[in-house]
Chains A and B, each alone.
Chain A
């Protein structure tokens, strides 16, 4: 049994509901949005208990997304992981190429129930924007995606994908021009248009009920993986690794294991160019609790409470705060969060390409680098000698969108080689 900060007793960590996760979360938003948040919460709670909703979502998962996503053991990659067995949960094989579709379909079905006609979304790497544009096309909804101008450049392919799907992509040219600023613009749009519009928030941050609701729509990742791994190996994993930007893929896979005490949960944040350089997005290493975008959580901020710019080679992890449930799990000691640098992530990215023929999203490559580290640490602790030590990695997305970045990083194209070397010197 777990005692929450409110003093109530809940059976399982996996089922804790908002608005607070310990002392994190809440609803730090303008009053103008409260009615809409309450409408979303009411509709979401009704929907979860309505077989018409759950069956429709299950049908879309099966026939449209391609769930369950496979579980792949990667032995050649694992040869670099200190003797651990490594399994990848293949969210990269979902329709649209990442885990994001799970949440988007759930929320889009809610939007249909609420009778709204317009979706807005923020996107960093573009994966959530693509998933939202996809659901909007499927369900005949208008769709506007806000994306930092810097990210539209880094992820040009996804901008084109969203436009192909009929979405309007609005480059955000104020502030740091990344995910945080895209969320600011989406919130401003929502305040003005809340009566006709749903803000389809893409991760486990934001005001209640988003952190709880988005976790619910992603918990299928961990539930499938837990069952698949039990069937395959007859045991639970020793460790679970996931990358953490806002934290939706991580919470989705962690959730099924929160109440399995023997399973270590590892979140990997963007260490960028290194914590010591200040150019990173490692909230648990370099942040302190604060409020951003509606929730209290760990936050990169200066001594005045101004949000600090984050940095990562991966647009999807480039966010100065993190979902409040992760802050809660961090403070409980139930999960650990460590940074992975751009260099480490890109090395793991290339290793998976070369050893397994799988091109991961650069976001997910942070989890892969983390898994290599976990395996080597387990080896040093003598845990891998039995050959049974198992690491489950959430491969949250595929790397098609990142090919241009990787080509520049590794100097794969003749005409970019010089520029890349200069850029990194």
Chain B
């Protein structure tokens, strides 16, 4: 087990390291893919996650199913409920993290706060670090309430991804940027997860404001479901986070192999979206960055 290197470096395989490498060497944003642990079963959730990795996702957001997911819309609610009904346990997350992290992609765990509280904040951080996880995305934990998690993530060298929203004040953007490590998650719109025909018009300004408030990396989520949307958001964001669009192909009764094939197709569409985000004249509005993250050695 590794412990406690809290120096603010950006190792190549870390969340910030991957974002920096893609930005500097490939000139593109990251595609961050969400799926819940244990849907439809723990084993099959690993299949699905590896499908994402094999078809162009750069980073994984691994959800812990929870009974009261107030930030999630119907698609992710259905999958979370399905996982719980199938017997998914919080402790299953660690094995799945290991399996996916072994492929060399950062794995962030997305969880509502109570399962971590119940497990024990420091124990959870220890076991997540030990499994090779990169950190946590915490949709219902604001930095103001996060003293225990900030201490535990420092102790175990984990990323802390807090959220900002179009309603966040400049003071709160600064507070959240300071407290975050890895990236800041910008909610593109006021609302819950789910596919939308248009990504919120306030997302770009929120990214600009969050950077101005001190954030090194800002990834955008909520509502992105197509390659075209990913390309549009990817012009200004360091990463594009996709959830419901990856969960949807896994719902239903089709043979599992067919569902994985459908997932692969959706993944490739979104992966080509982030790869085209800053090519051609569509890249004209890409904000220039005053300072680049030091340090990817590769």
Contacts and interface: CB of A to CB of B under 8 A. Distances in A.
Interface of A: 26-36, 174-175, 180, 184, 187-188, 191-195, 290-294, 299, 301, 303-307
24 contacts: A26-B145, A28-B113, A28-B140, A29-B140, A30-B70, A30-B165, A31-B142, A33-B167, A180-B68, A184-B70, A191-B192, A192-B191, A192-B192, A193-B190, A290-B114, A290-B117, A292-B68, A304-B90, A304-B91, A304-B115, A305-B118, A306-B66, A306-B84, A307-B68
A149 to B, nearest CB: 15
B81 A27 contact: no
Contacts of A291: 113-114, 117, 140
A35 B71 contact: no
Contacts of B66: 305-306
B68 A305 contact: no
- Between B69, B119, B165, B168, the greatest number of chain A beta carbons within 10 A of the residue's beta carbon is seen for B165
A304 B116 CA distance: 8
B190 A27 contact: no
Nearest to A309: B67
Contacts of B118: 290, 301, 303-305
A353 B73 CA distance: 45
Interface in B107-146: 113-119, 139-142, 144-145
Nearest to B73: A188
Contacts of A307: 67-68, 114
A29 B70 CA distance: 9
A32 B113 contact: no
Nearest to B144: A27
B190 A32 contact: yes
Given A30-B165, A32-B165, A174 B141 contact: no
B139 A30 contact: yes
Nearest to B167: A35
A62 B145 CA distance: 41
A195 B192 contact: no
Contacts of B69: 184
Interface string B71-111: 10100010001001000011100000000000000000000
A36 B165 CA distance: 12
Given A26-B145, A306-B84, 18 more contacts: A28-B113, A29-B142, A30-B71, A30-B165, A31-B163, A31-B164, A31-B168, A31-B187, A35-B169, A191-B71, A194-B190, A291-B113, A291-B114, A291-B140, A304-B90, A304-B115, A305-B116, A307-B67
Contacts of B71: 30, 188, 191
A191 B190 contact: yes
Contacts of B153: none
A68 B69 CA distance: 41
B162 interface: yes
Contacts of A192: 190-192
Contacts of B167: 31-36, 194-195
- Between B70, B115, B176, the greatest number of chain A beta carbons within 10 A of the residue's beta carbon is seen for B70
A184 B114 CA distance: 15
B23 interface: no
B211 interface: no
B164 A305 contact: no
B44 interface: no
Contacts of A184: 68-70
B151 to A, nearest CB: 16
B259 interface: no
Interface in B40-86: 66-71, 73, 77, 81, 84
A260 B46 CA distance: 59
B114 A191 contact: no
B90 A27 contact: no
Contacts of B192: 188, 191-192
Given A27-B142, A30-B165, A174-B77, A188 B119 contact: no
Interface string B167-192: 11100100010000000000100111
B162 A31 contact: yes
Contacts of B166: 32
Contacts of A304: 89-91, 115, 118-119
Interface in B182-216: 187, 190-192
A30 B112 CA distance: 10
A175 B80 CA distance: 11
A301 B164 contact: no
A232 B168 CA distance: 53
Q: Which 7 pairs from chain A and chain B are nearest by CB?
A: A305-B118, A32-B165, A305-B115, A192-B191, A35-B167, A305-B114, A304-B90
A322 B157 CA distance: 35
Nearest to B118: A305
A31 B77 CA distance: 20
A305 B139 CA distance: 16
A191 B191 CA distance: 5
Interface string B1-29: 00000000000000000000000000000
A188 B116 CA distance: 22
Interface string B272-283: 000000000000
Contact of A305 (B90, B144, B165, B172): B90
A192 B167 CA distance: 11
Contact of A175 (B68, B141, B144, B169): B68
A209 to B, nearest CB: 14
A410 B82 CA distance: 39
A169 B73 CA distance: 20
Nearest to A174: B77
